[in-house]
Structure 1
């Protein structure tokens, strides 16, 4: 299996096609990138910028460059000695425009008689033999707004097929609709009455059943061609937790690709391990991100920031947000579980739904993989019994069934057990990432996909332990700092983490800001002031867009389904006040200036650690320079590759000078760190064969973190504000192994033995040392 030494993620869409990516290969090669990592390429909904809403799995999207564009990119990459990693989406398809998806169109037209009916996860009986489509508005007479046009049913701009023989002369559109294999219903009914599996709560993403052999083959035929023709070298698998049988799917995929390099987008809770039987290299790196971030957070601030945030304990908050999701947005999925209970279970539907929702709310990880993951189910049951002792008898019935002890076995598991596993991840994602992360706001740099915000900081000793485990157990798994899904980019989080070093000053500033610009929702106000501090200065339009999304995701003062106009007006006034209110703006400017330099240090430190630690480092597009982004779509804005290419092409003496137009000294430093680390990993893999901690001695030893990979050594500064307050390094030294070393960032040389920290960090707050080759 060919394994990348690093990857660079590119978002491919109509505005940046595969041809554009191919043209970028020389720049990426010069940067030191080993493999190019592409977002989904298969034909998706028209105008889709992300590609996760695939409508035709048999073709590469023409808008993204089509098959010729992919070949151009693959040829360019391979000619440069680079590999190609592609993101694929096995769990769901896009159905927003039925006509664009011939599989879905066939099901709508022919119902259960369509060969594609088996491909989608539909409970026909629950819909009275019809597929419910939640597309109608709130008008009580919405069905009267249907019309027949060009042999199709139309509802405004949406078109639906008409089954053969179901439309006669004189029939109204409403009459014809009543005879179809689908039923158009009010959009609000989706959460409780939907009878097809969705991706989380997205009605326009319908789950497919890749566990059915022909569905796997037809949905992966184009992917098979990529490997047969040598176009792709590896795959990233989106959301395997949504599949009925992730391990079986991955085994099929390994056979299809000939054992190629495969990563899974799998979120691991602290202490959780990826199933060892999966034929994959590891995860896409959310777990690494969480570990690296916490190195740059000051544990001493935990108490004060927790008290100031006035938030309920995190474990109780996420129970409640997950429970709200199970009772609300995803209640259709809970009801489907209820329908799978054996007739003799003795549970009425209300009690069964209540108990199942409680188990989902108490589930400690995204999903279990029975039978090995049975312990997580037992843990959920114990917590559920504590919270809801009135449901003890229901849990007695349900837990054995959810272990798979039912007659309708699938490899020993019943459908109820399989579907519960598929559902728990949905509830976790929507209840935690998309709700609690917007409510638990003591330090929002910790609120990242794959992280647990209740874990405040990580001591160097503990991070070293994690690195050693990673080296031993998952040396080829991906590491990352920013993705298309991160709530805040790496540089934004690095700035926000500085607030942990000035908790009193920050708390007093926020109290004054809330006096000046009151919102009436303290957690959301805290979140907004942290977001603004971490990205300042950002343009007003981006700030308004983020504020509205964050408030609706939090769901406490306004929601997506029922926006509170008065509250949102107040929220937008807060955003405007950050720009226009003289005192509020001055406070924000002061905070932003106060954290800027330390944020620069944190960013460089986190970047260097992530790029050189055990694993395969990924660079998200554009983050080789500063990127102060917020949640999507903000983090998917166009990247200025022209500036980056110019920087790459400039003479080597630019480093640290701040002489290049449009790029300051700090920006040059981040580019330099990224380039030198990537080049070293690519060109000197022999220097990355192991892992051992580097030890500092002296009064500021706690501000140092470093490791030796086997000749390549990473040394970084942590908690820089505290370091400056305490008077700097004050004679602190770092024990370097015997040998002669060159700092790849400055060209300076060091010898083994006790090296003074103030000399190591004389130019930058980080150093990348490489063992000099013998001549």
Structure 2
């Protein structure tokens, strides 16, 4: 039986915070209560990469991240602190932005089909005329050559900082003589280039003409074929060594949906690692389940994040926020499924057109309209991918939707389906690898920035058309998680979340105050506006949710959000006038006294409610079924925005100092210091790690009284979690009735228990919630011996 973590703490390892720095943090993670350390990718990646998902050499730990000595040191420090180790790995792709840094890619470009690594990369050699197409030029090849931007020297073809190998014998003696005096001689450079196993081309051609598989639409990340046993073995030799030698205990698999055979991959990984603990970064759509036969403990927790977020959203605010959204648009809001159909179809027709064309080439007999039919099926596919023969029903569903939307394509759709339904056909395999690319780019990276009624719902793996979740629905989801995947990860913030957990918790308050939000937004737009109503809504939600934030962070968010939405501006053709107005909105928050004062006033009116949501969400995650992960720094308020903002440096010294004060008996207020969140995090993590017998089941607690819908309470087998929800509405109740909780009671066993957050002891079957939550909006009840310094209230 492999070791399983009780909880994890994610660390982003990079040059600025390497493995040696992480080793120094091990005692703090132990004191916090974490069970395992969870590390971002460690293998050698593109120079300067902060994320590590662009591996260039799978045979070694990145020197910039501490090298093999750093991993050894971290492992020893973690073991001394009693920590297990989980490491993120990237089997789907490699970084090829700089060919000279990647020995596999360099060899492929030097030797083409004869390369030792020809089988490692997913290249369509035929369509490229036996060459790999590289979209690196800012102009056509001819223009670049004529301008002297290309040169041949030192047995390399160079374009500014880019270097490419020359095939053996591809430069004649006469050409070498010419190049010795002028390495940029255009005619000679052209001739030499024609003999290479690659073709340098204008980057604009990549959308339709690229001939190698990549990660989503990122041409600097080339897909690799780990379905080939030899490729798997070489790509995983170092990783397997880590596990077998005891350096690490478990692995997190990045983007398994990009693989040709995820099931086979996980089987082989389990065989090589003797069944080590493995998680998959699998994004499940609403209602979708992870296949139970996969060799994995479960997902990395985006699905849990969606449930936790939505139980803190007031369903009563939906219609008012819809009305505001419609008013800002000046037209009816398109249904979510229609919106994402259109954004996905744009992706299939533009930046992923090359993938559609490759699928069409894999048809035994392409017909008129078959490429259009393939694009429409990819667009209509309701989940990231199927795993044929499992999931064949999704293909039927996509075909029915495609025929309904495009009846003129019915014959072509039926023709394509014959191959797509055959699990062994190359086209069916490739389609499964491609549908997730269209989903990710069309939904997460486009539609999520257009569907702006409540930004906290547009999160990775979330369906923003599902507005809220009631308490019973939440309990059902948690019970199912315990029954089906008890060792799967749960998360609230990750390196991929578009808003940190506490940004989302504050934005959720707007569903309780839709009228106040509409008034605030209109008052802001009367002073300054981007000219695009839905985007103003998105931007002001982010500003309010992340406030206080720096000007630079908000400008970066605004630019990324607007360009990803692709409505008023875009990455390829930025609209200068709109972007100037957009940046003026951000500047006004700092420079215009009217705006700054109104912003400060509105934030002050919602921040306590947001903090209540934050503490509640954190406690639900840390004590609920699954393996909770604490993303680096999120033991204090996590108010980051989309990457790279969510990977910025963490002040661990501040966290150590605050934890020491808490351990000295300090009970902080719920305020901007975020010490209350550190209290909740540390006490929940410690109880879960040190008393696992208290977390063996999931039973909803009985709540009675007039405010029962404001409480979430469950028993994990001796540890009882209690959290407030919809705090703004609760405050209105208090203003009206003089008491927020009134006669609301928690019914439970009569024996004495202690709230491990405060040390207060409670007895009796009927526990008044007003007394239980007198100090904090959350409580964690446990047997008396769980808190030696208990107090009788």
Shorter-chain TM-score category?
Answer: over 0.9
Alignment pair present for 1:743 and 2:755: yes
User: Among residues 739, 742, 758, which one is paired with 1:730 in the alignment?
Assistant: 742
Equivalent residue, structure 2, for 1:695: 702
User: Among residues 646, 656, 663, which one is paired with 1:635 in the alignment?
Assistant: 646
1:85–1:235 Cα contact (<8 Å) kept: yes
Q: Distance in 1 between matches of 2:28 and 2:595?
A: 42
Q: Distance in 2 between matches of 1:500 and 1:513?
A: 19
The alignment of Structure 1 onto Structure 2 pairs a total of residues equal to 760
User: Among residues 683, 687, 694, which one is paired with 2:690 in the alignment?
Assistant: 683
How far has the Cα of 1:651 moved from its partner?
A: 5.9
Q: Distance in 2 between matches of 1:5 and 1:436?
A: 35
User: Among residues 131, 141, 144, which one is paired with 1:142 in the alignment?
Assistant: 144
Equivalent residue, structure 2, for 1:390: 408
Q: Distance in 2 between matches of 1:565 and 1:673?
A: 46
How far has the Cα of 1:773 moved from its partner?
A: 4.5
Q: Distance in 2 between matches of 1:752 and 1:136?
A: 74
Q: Distance in 1 between matches of 2:672 and 2:112?
A: 62
Alignment pair present for 1:497 and 2:497: no
| TM-score (norm. length: structure 1) | 0.97
Equivalent residue, structure 2, for 1:408: none
How far has the Cα of 1:581 moved from its partner?
A: 2.0
3-state DSSP class of the match of 1:9?
strand
Where does structure 2 lack aligned partners over 5 or more consecutive residues?
179-187, 327-332, 735-739, 789-793
CA deviation vs aligned residue, 1:276-295 (integer Å, no higher than 9, x gap): 11010000000000000001
1:130–1:180 Cα contact (<8 Å) kept: yes
1:656–1:666 Cα contact (<8 Å) kept: no
Is the alpha carbon distance of 1:758 and 1:97 closer, same or farther for their aligned partners in structure 2, counting shifts above 3 Å?
same
CA deviation vs aligned residue, 1:418-464 (integer Å, no higher than 9, x gap): 00000000000000000000000000000100110110000000000
Matches within 5 A, 1:83-102: 83-102=84-103
1:655–1:672 Cα contact (<8 Å) kept: no
Matches within 5 A, 1:594-633: 594-633=605-644
CA deviation vs aligned residue, 1:481-533 (integer Å, no higher than 9, x gap): 00000000000000000011100110121122222212222121111000000
Equivalent residue, structure 2, for 1:712: 719
Alignment pair present for 1:163 and 2:167: yes
User: Among residues 417, 427, 432, which one is paired with 1:416 in the alignment?
Assistant: 427
Q: Distance in 1 between matches of 2:515 and 2:729?
A: 13
How far has the Cα of 1:649 moved from its partner?
A: 2.7
Is the alpha carbon distance of 1:567 and 1:651 closer, same or farther for their aligned partners in structure 2, counting shifts above 3 Å?
closer
Alignment pair present for 1:261 and 2:272: no
Q: Distance in 2 between matches of 1:768 and 1:227?
A: 36
Q: Distance in 1 between matches of 2:508 and 2:154?
A: 58
Q: Distance in 2 between matches of 1:492 and 1:45?
A: 31
Q: Distance in 2 between matches of 1:576 and 1:85?
A: 42
CA deviation vs aligned residue, 1:629-656 (integer Å, no higher than 9, x gap): 1000001000001111122233634533
Matches within 5 A, 1:633-672: 633-650=644-661, 652-657=663-668, 667-672=674-679
How far has the Cα of 1:692 moved from its partner?
A: 0.3
3-state DSSP class of the match of 1:706?
strand
Is the alpha carbon distance of 1:123 and 1:307 closer, same or farther for their aligned partners in structure 2, counting shifts above 3 Å?
same
Equivalent residue, structure 1, for 2:774: 762
Alignment pair present for 1:380 and 2:398: yes
User: Among residues 187, 191, 196, which one is paired with 2:212 in the alignment?
Assistant: 196
How far has the Cα of 1:585 moved from its partner?
A: 2.1
1:327–1:357 Cα contact (<8 Å) kept: yes
3-state DSSP class of the match of 2:751?
strand
Equivalent residue, structure 1, for 2:344: 322
Q: Distance in 2 between matches of 1:101 and 1:323?
A: 34
User: Among residues 420, 432, 446, which one is paired with 2:457 in the alignment?
Assistant: 446
Q: Distance in 2 between matches of 1:581 and 1:636?
A: 30
Alignment pair present for 1:336 and 2:369: no
| TM-score (norm. length: structure 2) | 0.94
Q: Distance in 1 between matches of 2:703 and 2:647?
A: 40
Equivalent residue, structure 2, for 1:673: 680
2:662–2:679 Cα contact (<8 Å) kept: no
1:736–1:751 Cα contact (<8 Å) kept: no
Deviates more, 1:582-591 or 1:462-471: 582-591
Equivalent residue, structure 2, for 1:120: 121
3-state DSSP class of the match of 1:116?
coil
Q: Distance in 2 between matches of 1:181 and 1:588?
A: 58
Equivalent residue, structure 2, for 1:133: 134
CA deviation vs aligned residue, 1:201-257 (integer Å, no higher than 9, x gap): 001000000000100000000011111211110000000000000000000000111
How far has the Cα of 1:678 moved from its partner?
A: 0.3
Q: Distance in 1 between matches of 2:676 and 2:580?
A: 41
1:366–1:428 Cα contact (<8 Å) kept: yes
Matches within 5 A, 1:448-597: 448-597=459-608
Q: Distance in 2 between matches of 1:154 and 1:337?
A: 33
3-state DSSP class of the match of 1:297?
coil
Where does structure 1 lack aligned partners over 5 or more consecutive residues?
405-411
1:656–1:665 Cα contact (<8 Å) kept: no
How far has the Cα of 1:589 moved from its partner?
A: 1.5
3-state DSSP class of the match of 2:190?
helix
Q: Distance in 2 between matches of 1:738 and 1:463?
A: 26
Matches within 5 A, 1:262-411: 262-310=278-326, 311-343=333-365, 345=366, 347-348=367-368, 351-404=369-422
Q: Distance in 1 between matches of 2:448 and 2:36?
A: 32
Alignment pair present for 1:104 and 2:108: no
